Structure 1
Amino acid sequence: MCLLDSVIDWDADFIRCVATSHHSADNPLRAHGRLAAVCGVEYAAQAMAAHGAASQQGTQRPRMGYLASVRKLVLDVDRLDDIDGSLTIEAHRISGEGANVLYAFEVSGSGKRLLCGRAAVILDVAPPPGA
């Protein structure tokens, strides 16, 4: 599942992406006829993954990562599917050493912040047996 349309800017510590999939009736995160604002965390997680992949250009395969925790989550709206226009997703790498990375993220649309928070990502975790 890819929710992002494009990466519009990035550097070693930052990425900005755009998405319009929040309007899609077949968005896989929709439930009960709506796309809850908390689903914006998945948009942010995908932006973080894109940042990790872009930061490793020219190296071996991208490192596998898992979203370990979300903290300080603030939901400024109840839902995302009624936001006009596109969503802008930004993730800022706050810190990271080895297999642990901390990001701050924000999802905005219609000229306002929709949600924000922090996320911890663990890299290079062995996949579960049978995966």
Structure 2
Amino acid sequence: MSATPTLDRAGIAARIPHQGHMCLLDAVTAWSADHVVCVAVGHNDPAHPLRAAGRLGAANGIEYAAQAMAVHGALVAGLNAAPRQGYLTSVRSVTLHAERLDGLNGPLSVRAERVSGDVNNVLYGFTVHHDERCLLEGRAAVVLDAEAL
């Protein structure tokens, strides 16, 4: 684990492109060069930006994971590094173990783990949990410097 202190919502928002209500993560609780663990608490908010038809489906957990990957990339790059514009190139092997993210009392735990990659392309494994229950899991490929393409 890094000796760097954990981040709150403002610290996360300063490092990722998602702002306002679209910043879905509330804290980074642990991170290292290979992984990040984040907490999210807004999944029951009736004004959640990803809510559709009065519900927040479990597949929206992919966006939570993508934001965890973005903040991980920023943390690994260092506090003084310029933000890099990245994007998901693919999401694979996603398994939903729940139908919805809303209706769950208490925080969600979002974990992204770097599986492989280089300075510009990274493969992450990710999970979203509520307590001990895995809600979804999968893998995502990320291009970190989209502006260079």
TM-score by length of 1: 0.93
Assess, with a 3 A threshold, how the Cα gap between structure 1 residues 127 and 42 changes in structure 2: closer, same or farther.
farther
TM-score by length of 2: 0.82
Counterpart selection for 1:37 from 51, 54, 58: 58
Q: Aligned ranges for residues 1-131 of structure 1 at < 5 Å?
A: 1-126=22-147
The residue identity in structure 2 corresponding to 1:41 is I
Shift, 1:58, TM fit: 4.0
Shift, 1:127, TM fit: 8.3
Considering fraction of residues, name the structure with more strand: 1
CA distance in 1, matches of 2:32, 2:132: 23
Does the CA contact (< 8 Å) of 1:83 and 1:110 recur in 2? no
Shift, 1:9, TM fit: 0.1
Could you list the runs of 4 or more consecutive aligned residues of structure 1 that deviate by over 4 angstroms after TM superposition? none
The residue identity in structure 2 corresponding to 1:8 is T
Give the secondary structure class of the aligned counterpart of 1:79: coil
Shift, 1:98, TM fit: 2.7
> Aligned Cα RMSD in Å?
1.5
Shift, 1:94, TM fit: 0.3
The residue identity in structure 2 corresponding to 1:91 is A
Structure 2: unaligned runs, 5 residues or longer: 1-21
Shift, 1:39, TM fit: 0.2
How many residue pairs get aligned? The number is 128
Identity %: 52
